[in-house]
Structure 1
Amino acid sequence: MNVDTFAQQLKTMQWRLDELYQDAQATVQVKPDLLPLAFKELGIVSEELEVAVEELQQQNAALANARQVIETERQRYQELFQFAPNGYLVTDESGTIQEANHAAAKLLNVSQRFLVGKPLLVFVAEAERQSFHTQLLQLRTSEQVKEWEISLCPRDGKPFRASLTGTIISDWTGKADGLRLCIRDISSAGRELCLYNPADLELEIERNDSDPYEVCPKHVYLKGEMISLKPQTIWVVSRGIVKLSTISETGEEVLVGLAGPSMPFGSNLTTLKTYQATALSEVELACFSLTDIATYPSLAQKVLPQINQRLRQTEALLAISGQRHVKDRLHNLLLLLKKEIGQPVEQGTRLSVRFTHQDLASACSTTRVTITRMLGKLQAQGKIILDSQNHIILKEQDI
Structure 2
Amino acid sequence: MKTILLIEDNLDIRENTCEILELAGYKVMEAENGKVGVAKAMETHPDLVICDIMMPVLDGYGVLHIFSRNPDLARIPFIFLTAKTERTDFRKGMELGADDFLTKPFEESELLKAIEGRLSRFEQLDQVRIRADYDLNSNGLQEFLDDVQLTVELESLSVDRKSHFFPKKQYIYTEGDRPSRVYFVRKGTVKTIKMNPEGKEFITGLYGPGTFFGYLSVLEKMDYADSAVCLEDTELIYIPQTDFEQLLWANKQISHQFIRMLAGRVIEREQQLLTMAYSSLRRRVANMLLQLNEQASEETKVIRFSRDDLASMIGIATESLIRTLSEFKQDGLIEISGSSIRVLQAEKLRRANW
TM-score (norm 1): 0.42
Q: Which is bigger in relative contact order (C-alpha 8 A, separation at least 6)? A: 2
Decide which structure has the larger Cα Rg and report it. 1
TM-score (norm 2): 0.47
